[in-house]
Structure 1
């Protein structure tokens, strides 16, 4: 069975009128995608509030301070997971993802990335057609507008596995 086409959607906070709009879009995504999600993780080292964040600054700074006070596991990979079944963990992740150097939402089945923040400034969704349709419908049902460039984005079929190498 061929893989679904995937749409790439830019989601940096500075592209929204208010950072909280970006947070709300990620919150809705995590609710909609929950049955399809694998690991939802971020790098807890060097967390800092994004300049664009206006609401909840004090609450998120408390979260950051709490995480910075946690003991660090010895090892090279630093990663903190979040349980998406827990509403508070989802709220925490949404705000901390944009405060992190690396935050990733993985799919359960194919170990592909659905959402990623890199360096606190670059954020991207990669959504298969079926999940994108469900997500956009949920946004509309909750009264959120889907960004125009997201609506205009064209889905692309993934390359067959034998062409994904170094080409």
Structure 2
């Protein structure tokens, strides 16, 4: 999907049109992609397991993407992913990475998922800040935030 958009689109608006005009197929699972351009226009493109498409445009607040579709109302959901989203929405003003530390998934005895990386994208400055899991030992270590700027 990223290559499809990079080869065809210069703006987020062109990406919306390309995604809605192309045939897509996903099997078994949902997916979402955050798409943004240098002007700050951004959206999340989502596909459900039944191949329904959704575009969620960014507003004035940070666009927070977790492990569920944004087009699914979060207010009435009680699952872990929606609880993480509500916590992030409340705490993002404390700083993005501080808020992300609060919801980082740590592997449990049942072998559930662990957060491998998380990122903060800033289209207006063509930059992103990312942190990575450095080790799988019991006391996991994450990298310091690394900021990358392109095209400037």
Query: Taking structure 2 as the reference length, what is the TM-score of the superposition?
Result: 0.26
| More RCO (CA 8 Å, sep 6+) | 1
Identify the structure with the greater helix proportion: 1
Query: Taking structure 1 as the reference length, what is the TM-score of the superposition?
Result: 0.24
